[in-house]
Amino acid sequence: MINKAIESVEAAITPSNPLTFLLDWELTMKCNLDCSYCGVGENGGHDNSTQHPKLSDCLSSLDFMFEYADLYTQNKRSTRKQVILNVYGGESLHHPDIVEIFASIDDKKAKYTSWNLTVTCTTNALVTAKKLLAVMPYIQQFTISYHTESNAKQQAQFKENLLLLKQHNKEFKCLILMNPPEHYFRNAIDMIEWCKLNGINYLPKQLDIAENESKDKVKWHSKKQIIWFNKLYSDRSFNANINIDTSKKSANLSQEGRACCGGRQTCTDQDYKTRHFYIDNHFPDWYCSVNEYFLFVKQVNGKIYTNKDCKMNFDGQIAPIGNLNNTKALLDYTRTNITNNSMPIIQCKRKSCLCGLCAPKAQSIDTYRQIMLKYKHEK
């Protein structure tokens, strides 16, 4: 169902989960898992035929990302000058220089004093306790992804590492990938119960299926699972109706609607009293602020995008906005446009929205501009 009934979408105003500028850094594509729902290759989530990027190149990327974030935070209100660096892969904690990379972050951030940085890491946590303890001091928040296709030994190690994080009072949430095959889905339900029993913050997540994979029904959720998701989303919404069609025998839920990756509630049509945890995620030709809140750096090939899923550029194309081989060109372009208040507004050409759902967006350019006024700095 296409979004014809609403005209705008924003993240709900929640002090505990504010809208930030997210630096998504795919540090490496090597991974110690090979999940069937995680694509292989440039547009996939892992590729073990690649090599870990060199340390010197990684450190240069940090310099670029912080300078880029500094440009975008200039126009943000003082309460919104928050930047998150999310390091992931592949499996980022298997990069041989990962400890040194994390240890360098504070020094590189020191020159930028107008915004706050939170360092996060998205990991499958299938590393030794020694490795986890080594990186722990440098990371403020962890997103730990649970994969049901891991084996019993790995799942035991996963749980041990979650308890280790809890023991050290680290902030983290467990992202549970709800893999549709029934035995995997049951395993994910068991993991939810384990998290509840152990006081672990968790977030069930439906699988995202790329537009070019939308007919792959192996990855679709069954009628029973659709009903389960409908209850989940209803329980987590506030004064909002959930419109999942539970009569279907199966569905690719990521092409019908979605919840925010970060667990944020959303508001539509500037109605801030009604909050949705799940909404229809089709915004063709809508105007979107995704570049105001995201940057995606693919270290292995140097490509720089606005966002890891939509990959929209400023020319109405699904393409990179720059390359790590020439970051000066992108920085100069961004600096000039931000200084002159002439940054192009992205108009979406995707059929559906995945990551980036929380970025304010609207059907009309006038509504978009009106909404964005509240996010700019005080005059």
pLDDT digits (tens, 9 = 90+) for 308-334: 999 999 999 999 999 999 999 999 999
DSSP labels, 119-156: EEEEE---S-HHHHHHHGGG-SEEEEEE-TTS-HHHHH
List, for residues 115-169, the tens digit of each pLDDT value. Answer: 999 999 999 999 999 999 999 999 999 999 999 999 999 999 999 999 999 999 9
pLDDT for the residue 211: 59
pTM: 0.92
Contact 374, 13 (CB under 8 A): no
243 belongs to a structural domain: no
The answer, yes or no, to whether residue 16 has pLDDT greater than 70, is no
How many Cα atoms occupy the beta-carbon half-sphere of 227 within 13 Å?
6
For 268-280, what is the mean pLDDT? Answer: 88
pLDDT for the residue 248: 87
Strand order, beta sheet including 346-347:
266-268, 8-11, 361-362, 287-288, 346-347
CA-nearest of 1, 3, 12 to 262 is 12
Residues 6+ apart with CB under 8 A from 298: 26, 42, 304, 305
pLDDT for the residue 15: 67
Q: Give the integer Cα–Cα distance in Å for 197 and 286.
A: 43
252 belongs to a structural domain: no
Mean pLDDT score of the chain: 91
The answer, yes or no, to whether residue 379 has pLDDT greater than 50, is no
69 belongs to a structural domain: yes
The answer, yes or no, to whether residue 5 has pLDDT greater than 60, is yes
For 13-40, what is the mean pLDDT? Answer: 89
Q: Give the integer Cα–Cα distance in Å for 353 and 130.
A: 38
Q: What is the dihedral of CA 47, 50, 55, 60, to 10 degrees?
A: -80
Q: Give the integer Cα–Cα distance in Å for 295 and 25.
A: 8
For 58-79, what is the mean pLDDT? Answer: 92
Contact 293, 372 (CB under 8 A): no
List, for residues 162-190, the tens digit of each pLDDT value. Answer: 999 999 999 999 999 999 999 999 999 99
The winner for highest mean pLDDT among 10-14, 235-239, 294-298, 338-342 is: 294-298
pLDDT for the residue 2: 43
* Run of H or E including 324: none
315 belongs to a structural domain: yes
268 belongs to a structural domain: no
Q: Kindly calculate the radius of gyration of the chain based on its CA atoms and give it in whole angstroms.
A: 20
DSSP code, position 207:
P
Residue-range definition of the domain harbouring residue 350: 20-225+293-355
Indicate the residue type of 32.
N
Q: Give the integer Cα–Cα distance in Å for 317 and 305.
A: 11
62 belongs to a structural domain: yes
Q: How many domains does the chain have?
A: 1
Contact 35, 149 (CB under 8 A): yes
pLDDT for the residue 217: 61
The enclosing domain of 197 has a CATH number of 3.20.20.70
